[in-house]
């Protein structure tokens, strides 16, 4: 796990090593174990190293191929590198190191761009082929590892984080006009966009090739989730056995490390399965969990402790207090852009705690996305069976009634379901997970920005994905859209930035390629049966799941923001959003902000998540005045 950056000058000029060094230095947290810079005619690469496999100096980067013509800066872990290494050795390739980076180089020499689709893991890389004067950029299948690109007439810049690109002295920092409505709707700017007009994210499952002399890059998609039709299941026992085999193999592949290893443990199904499987494979496991002091409804540590006792782990837990909001300025710097998921706070804290004892942590991320763990997935299927007339009546009846003081309550979720159940599937799903609706944004935003809040613009990514997934059953359509939106731009971003801020590598067995492909090929009816979510996963792994884990109510990794903003952080919120000189007022009408605060104080709505997002947006605007 590392940080990468690079420069391509379109006229063939040699990049300045001091600039490359500056781009690397600003992401030193991603790789505290070393820095490398290499400049060539036309291209330069920079790297920050977090040493995980092969700790020798010879495994440092940027790394050069045996023939001296191909150079790479790589971030991530390739879990099948030993298999690829054996294949390449049989073809005559000789290796000087024991890690995965050199395997990618040899694979490129053997298979060219075809090496990308053979890589199984989490990765982002820049590869300079001096023979053909071209730069290859690519990113893993689900977008677990980040990769940003800046382009203008003279140059192409790329990096693991935006701040690295901004370290180049000649960058257009103007803000993308549509970013604020997109962020206030989704809690992030959907891929490939960003808050900067000229900076974009590389799409997952794709590679791009920039060739000197060519004005446009060539983009190819090398992988996609299975898009149907789903496999016919004749023997349920075979399915359960295959799920067990694939998950165990996924965990085993992620245990290869030359540094200490542990696991995040929430006490939910997914993290419990990771810990249970690790315990079988390696014995005693170090586990880490986090909770919220004074808010037991949001605290999962009691469940984590039960699992830790069952599997005899070396367990550590930590409690978050409202004072942890002091992290906001630091988190805003690490995330570069405003980020609407408040669980970034506990994720950052548990990552820092974990890094004190291990360098690599396995997580349960992806289990909900593969096997349908969120109630909204179940609701999407249920809505298809409710008569349209009934859905319309419910919407009109419930719209004027306040949502209530607690986010996530049965009433609040039921009301949200009814308000959007009559909409087409992609629009319905987007509105169920959105912060502010298109209607709210149209009245909140000043006119020059409100025009970018049209439903067609806010929902463009969902509509495109829905068109691709038309052959899938309803539940699998929802899982696909979720994987290419929430998983990509929220969950993966949250964990990557929070963990790398602490120089901690995280690995997610549920995002294993073979497991994902198999899970997505199963009919939705095996993933959710009635109100029973993750049905096939729970059946397949029943022996490893204590009853208290299976039967507990799903909590998620949330934060009690609503309570905090009505109590300990009440005055701080007003100072941040309503004070004269607040940067938000350029984009959002002050009266609209005052109305939101009043609704929250009067307990008509729980707007904790909304205020968190507005707080982060104000923080970003203060830190980036020239961009705004």
Q: What is the CATH number of the domain that holds 155?
A: 3.60.20.10
**Sequence-distant (≥ 6) Cβ neighbours of residue 382 within 8 angstroms:** none
Q: What is the pLDDT of residue 554?
A: 62
Verify that 575 and 612 share a domain, yes or no: yes
Q: Does one domain contain both 510 and 621?
A: no
For residue 438, whether the previous peptide bond is cis, meaning omega lies within 30 degrees of 0, is no
My answer on whether 113 and 156 are in the same domain is: yes
Residues 213 and 287 in one domain: no
Residue where one domain finishes, among candidates 156, 186, 221: 221
Q: Which domain holds residue 6?
A: 2-221
Q: Which residue has the tokens 């599997």?
A: 311
Task: Report d(CA 72, CA 70) in Å as an integer.
Answer: 7
Let me know whether 544 and 565 are in one domain: no
Element (H, E) at 534: none
**What pairs with residue 74 in β-bridges?**
125
- Whether residue 43 lies in the annotated active site: no
Among the options 1, 2, 545, 549, which is catalytic? 2
283 and 148 housed in the same domain: no
Tokens of 14: 């040699």
Specify whether the CB–CB gap between 270 and 373 falls below 8 A: yes
Q: Is residue 272 part of a domain?
A: yes
Identify the pLDDT of residue 187: 96
pTM given for the model: 0.94
In a domain, 589, yes or no: yes
User: Are residues 603 and 546 part of one domain?
Assistant: no
Three-state secondary-structure class, residue 446: coil
User: Of 221, 249, 269, which marks where a domain is finished?
Assistant: 221
Q: Does residue 470 sit within a domain?
A: no
Complete edge-to-edge strand list for the sheet that includes strand 206-211:
63-64, 70-78, 121-129, 134-139, 206-211, 218-221
Residues 256 and 140 in one domain: no
In a domain, 231, yes or no: no
Take residue 624 and report the two structure tokens written for it: 């980036």
Task: Note whether residue 377 is domain-resident.
Answer: no
Q: Is residue 507 part of a domain?
A: yes
Same-domain status, 93 and 44: yes
**Is 446 part of a structural domain of the chain?**
no
pLDDT tens digits along 416-456: 666 666 778 888 888 888 999 999 999 999 999 999 999 99
CATH (domain of 520): 3.40.50.620
Do you find a cis peptide bond into 260, omega within 30 degrees of 0?
no
Instruction: Tell me the per-residue pLDDT of 73-101, one tens digit each, with 9 for 90 and over.
Output: 999 999 999 999 999 999 999 999 999 99
Question: Which residues have a Cβ under 8 Å from the Cβ of 461 and sit 6 or more positions away?
Answer: 190, 191, 484, 485
- Are 534 and 584 in a shared domain? no
Neighbours of 470 (CB within 10 A): 9
Domain count within the chain = 3
Half-sphere exposure for 40 (CA within 13 Å, toward CB): 24
Same domain for 188 and 244: no
Residue at 418 is within a domain: no
d(CA 34, CA 16): 19
Per-residue pLDDT tens digits for 137-179: 999 999 999 999 999 999 999 999 999 999 999 999 999 999 9
Q: Helices 608-623 and 179-186: crossing angle, nearest 10°?
A: 150
The answer to whether the peptide bond before residue 109 is cis (omega within 30 degrees of 0) is no
CB atoms within 10 A of CB 501: 22
Give the per-residue pLDDT at 436.
Answer: 93
**Rg of the chain, C-alpha, whole Å:** 24
The answer to whether residues 535 and 594 belong to one domain is no
Domain finish residue from 499, 525, 551: 551
Q: Encoding tokens for residue 217?
A: 């890059």
Instruction: Using 70 as the pLDDT threshold, list the residues of the chain that sit under it.
Output: 1, 293-299, 322-325, 385-421, 553-559, 626-628
């Amino acid at each position: 796990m590392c940080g990468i950056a690079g420069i391509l000058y379109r006229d063939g000029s040699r990049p300045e090593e001091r600039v490359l060094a500056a781009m690397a230095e600003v992401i030193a947290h991603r790789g505290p174990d070393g820095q490398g810079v290499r400049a060539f005619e036309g291209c330069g690469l920079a790297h920050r190293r977090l040493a995980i496999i092969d700790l020798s100096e010879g495994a440092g980067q940027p790394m050069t191929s045996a023939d001296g013509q191909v150079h790479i800066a790589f971030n991530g872990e390739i879990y099948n590198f030993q298999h690829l290494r054996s294949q390449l050795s049989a073809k005559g390739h000789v290796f000087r190191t024991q890690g995965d980076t050199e395997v990618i180089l040899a694979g490129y020499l053997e298979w060219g761009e075809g090496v990308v689709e053979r890589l199984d893991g989490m990765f982002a890389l820049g590869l300079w082929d001096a023979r053909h004067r071209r730069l290859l950029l690519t990113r893993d299948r689900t977008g677990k590892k980040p990769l940003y690109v800046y382009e203008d007439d003279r140059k192409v810049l790329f990096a693991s984080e935006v701040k690295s690109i901004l370290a180049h002295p000649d960058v257009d920092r103007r803000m993308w006009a549509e970013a604020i409505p997109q962020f206030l709707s989704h809690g992030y700017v959907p891929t490939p966009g960003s808050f900067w007009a000229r900076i974009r994210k590389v799409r997952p499952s794709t590679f791009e090739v920039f060739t000197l002399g060519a004005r446009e890059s060539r983009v190819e998609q090398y992988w996609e989730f299975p898009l149907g039709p789903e496999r016919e299941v004749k023997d349920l026992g075979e399915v359960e056995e295959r799920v067990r085999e694939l998950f165990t193999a996924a965990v085993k592949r992620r245990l290869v490390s030359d540094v200490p290893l542990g696991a995040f443990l929430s006490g939910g199904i997914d993290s419990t399965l990771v810990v249970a499987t690790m315990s079988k494979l390696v014995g005693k496991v170090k586990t880490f969990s986090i909770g919220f002091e004074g808010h037991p409804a949001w605290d999962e540590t009691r469940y984590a402790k039960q699992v830790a006792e069952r599997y005899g782990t070396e367990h550590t837990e930590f409690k978050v207090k409202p004072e942890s909001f002091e992290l906001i300025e630091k988190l805003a710097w690490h995330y570069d852009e405003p980020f609407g998921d408040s669980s970034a706070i506990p994720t950052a804290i548990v990552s820092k705690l974990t890094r004190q004892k291990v360098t690599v942590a396995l997580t349960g991320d992806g289990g909900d996305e593969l096997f349908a763990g969120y109630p909204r997935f179940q609701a999407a299927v249920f809505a298809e069976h409710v008569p349209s007339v009934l859905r319309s009546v419910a919407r009109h009846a419930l719209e004027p009634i306040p949502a209530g003081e607690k986010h996530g309550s049965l009433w609040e979720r039921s009301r949200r379901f009814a308000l959007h159940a009559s909409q087409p599937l992609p629009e319905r799903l987007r509105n169920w997970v959105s912060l502010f609706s298109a209607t709210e944004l149209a009245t909140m935003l000043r006119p020059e920005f409100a025009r970018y809040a049209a439903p067609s613009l806010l929902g463009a990514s969902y509509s495109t994905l829905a068109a691709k997934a038309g052959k899938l059953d309803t539940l699998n359509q929802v899982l696909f859209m979720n994987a290419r939106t929430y998983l990509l731009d929220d969950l993966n971003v949250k964990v990557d930035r929070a963990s790398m801020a602490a120089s901690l590598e995280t690995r997610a067995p549920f995002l294993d390629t073979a497991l994902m492909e198999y899970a997505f090929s199963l009919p939705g009816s095996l993933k959710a049966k009635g109100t029973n979510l993750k049905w096939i996963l729970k059946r397949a792994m029943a022996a490893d799941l204590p009853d208290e884990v299976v039967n507990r109510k799903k909590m998620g990794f949330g934060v009690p923001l609503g309570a905090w903003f009505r109590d300990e952080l009440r005055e701080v919120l007003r100072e941040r959003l309503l004070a004269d000189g607040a940067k938000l007022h350029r984009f959002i009408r002050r009266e609209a902000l005052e109305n939101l605060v009043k609704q929250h104080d009067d307990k008509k709505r729980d707007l904790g998540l909304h205020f968190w997002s507005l707080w982060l947006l104000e923080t970003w605007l203060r830190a980036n005045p020239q961009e705004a």
